[in-house]
Amino acid sequence: MSDQSQYLKSSKLIATHYGEEYEHYYNAIVPPIFMNSLNVFETVDGYYDFDRQDKHTYCYGRVQNPTVRILEDKMAALEHGAGAMAFASGMAAASTAVLTVCRAGGHVICVRNAYGPLRILLDGYAKDHLGITTTYVDGDRVEEFEEALTENTQLIVLESPSSVVLTLQDIRGVSEAAKKAGAKVYIDNTFCTPIYQQPLDLGADIVMHTASSSAASSSPRTRPSLRSSSPTGSSSAASPGPWRRG
Ligand SMILES: Cc1ncc(COP(=O)(O)O)c(C=O)c1O
């Protein structure tokens, strides 16, 4: 069994080797792509008794897949998170994060320059269907967030650097203010990638990437997106299931 901990020593080793357990893929140097949806159990009891946390036992592809698992393990390790979940798109990950943390009637603080479709989700579906209200701030100063906090604030949405115009927020300062108010901090870390910035270390609760951009070196294809964060959550966010800092 390969000693995976040796790969946690650097981002380079995580990206190239971490999570890839060759002995489970006939020692293939590149992990194969598993395209099956279902896995076989020898007995019905084996199915009912299997450990759902065991990354070497799989049941159904939507829930766990060995190839996707490698990506999730790498991203969680790069972000210093407790876990990660991969999605079919960045907006799937972002929507899951918002809908996991926020309750009907809740309040969100979001930076004005956040990715447009996320603002559309907040101003449209979240408001119309769940009564979630959003206050937008420029995000240059921590005080703006503090002033916008209400008793009902459940989530602060950051994007630093932000889409297109690359504005910055004080992740540590905003996270401290959020913690005092009992709100969670979500950040889109797409532009920096975890190679340059690890928001969980600065106090954020959930980190999201769209892998169609920087993490996969911008390409015309849409690639699985994910967000890593802390786990106690469970699919309650994780990538959507809960994820909190480890
Ligand atoms: C910063 C940022 N966040 C989120 C998204 C959404 O990602 P996706 O297109 O994979 O849904 C994008 C897409 O361009 C983006 O640039």
Answer yes or no: is the C-beta of 190 below 6 A from any ligand 1 atom: yes
Q: Is 232 in the pocket of ligand 1 (CB under 6 A)?
A: no
Instruction: Answer yes or no: are the C-beta atoms of 246 and 231 closer than 8 Å.
Output: yes
Give the CB-side neighbour count of residue 173, counting CA atoms within 13 A.
Answer: 11
CATH number of 84-244: 3.40.640.10
pLDDT (tens digit per residue) in 212-241: 776 655 444 444 444 444 544 333 333 333
192 touches 49 (CB < 8 A): no
Q: Is the pLDDT of residue 245 over 70?
A: no
pLDDT tens per residue across span 58-77: 999 998 999 999 999 999 99
> What's the chain's Rg over C-alpha atoms?
19
* Closest residue to atom 14 of ligand 1, CA basis: 213
Average pLDDT, the chain: 88
Mean pLDDT of 34-38: 96
| pLDDT > 90 fraction of the chain, expressed in percent and rounded | 79
With 0-12 / 13-18 / 19 or more C-beta atoms within 10 angstroms meaning exposed / middle / buried, residue 197 is middle
Q: Which of 89, 96, 115, 227 to mutate to test the pocket of ligand 1 (most atoms within 8 A of CB)?
A: 115
Give 186's contacts (C-beta < 8 A, 6+ positions apart): 97, 98, 101, 155, 156, 157, 158, 204, 205, 206, 207, 208
Residue 121: pLDDT over 80? yes
CA of 18 to the centre of ligand 1 (A): 25
Query: Is the shortest distance between the CB of 229 and ligand 1 below 6 Å?
Result: no
User: Would you put residue 40 in left (φ > 0), alpha (ψ -120 to 50) or beta?
Assistant: beta
Ligand 1 neighbour 90 (Cβ under 6 A): yes
CA 132/CA 139 separation, integer angstroms: 20
* β-sheet bridge partners, residue 108: 134, 155
Domain ranges of the chain: 4-79, 84-244
